[in-house]
Copies of this chain bind each other. A is one copy, B any other.
């Protein structure tokens, strides 16, 4: 997976394995591991992991070289991938990411003003040296473009925003007070100490997207958080790490979408609706305001309620 964060690898698999806590120690061939990745995006030379049974179907096609996996799921892994049996694949994977990407374990507080964009700096908006900005950029006051913000043409960003680890497409509008690209909400206890899950991903925002005020959109952990082109997001919406939203969606005020959930194209989500994590919502789905979606939804579903059910059933009850 391509990451804004610096990959300190490659590492020898037998060196890496020493840093794990829950894996069965055994001697592998002296293979070189180039990178960490989720199952889906992994390439040859990558190390990956199976988090839970929702992702079993991805074991068949992953191109990773090694995979942390519980013993019971080993038989589902394709034969080109070498299993590393672990009683806690996620934690062992996290420990390995910390080796590859020591900087992705939090948010960056170092700031080196970008002299190239002096005019912006004068406007009380601060731009980090790593930022690239396209043509015809407009920005409010007291906004910070932190490390790793790549901004397309004709983008408008309001006041008091904080943007980092984001690729922002052309014609995007982001309103005041929105925070985009910070580390997501993921922690694990390892030996009674709380550890952040490192977040090596970023936020990718397609062209013509609108994002309202006071939204929070976290960057991905081992994948990216993605908003498809022409999607319109209202105020105070919270999108957790790894959420993927399709094109031409409408997401109304105060909606919250939990981690790793995928939303199709042309969906409409009413105000204050909440969607659980790790779900797949199809295309053309309509979710009523205030609903709580706890299950996958097929294309063209129209749901409402908590837990959300078809609007017909909701109206009956």
CB-based nearest B residue for A253: B238
Q: Does A224 contact B (CB under 8 A)?
A: no
Q: Does A309 contact B (CB under 8 A)?
A: no
Copies of this chain in its oligomeric complex: 3
Q: Are A109 and B138 in contact (CB under 8 A)?
A: yes
Q: Are A240 and B214 in contact (CB under 8 A)?
A: no
CB neighbours (8 Å) of A107 from chain B are 156, 158, 175
Q: Are A289 and B274 in contact (CB under 8 A)?
A: yes
- CA distance in complex: A250, B142 (Å): 31
Q: Does A216 contact B (CB under 8 A)?
A: yes
The segment from A34-42, A63-71, A229-237 that touches chain B is: A229-237
- CA distance in complex: A232, B196 (Å): 10
Q: Does A148 contact B (CB under 8 A)?
A: no
The segment from A47-55, A82-90, A179-187 that touches chain B is: A179-187
Q: Are B253 and A272 in contact (CB under 8 A)?
A: no
- CA distance in complex: A272, B176 (Å): 22
Q: Are B160 and A162 in contact (CB under 8 A)?
A: yes
Q: Does A61 contact B (CB under 8 A)?
A: no
CB-based nearest B residue for A240: B253
Q: Does A213 contact B (CB under 8 A)?
A: yes
Given the known interface contacts A107-B158, A185-B252, the answer about A216 and B214 at a Cβ–Cβ threshold of 8 Å is: yes
Instruction: Report, nearest first, the 10 A-B pairs whose CB atoms are least far apart.
Output: A290-B292, A216-B235, A109-B138, A179-B213, A185-B234, A162-B176, A272-B274, A238-B253, A176-B179, A254-B256
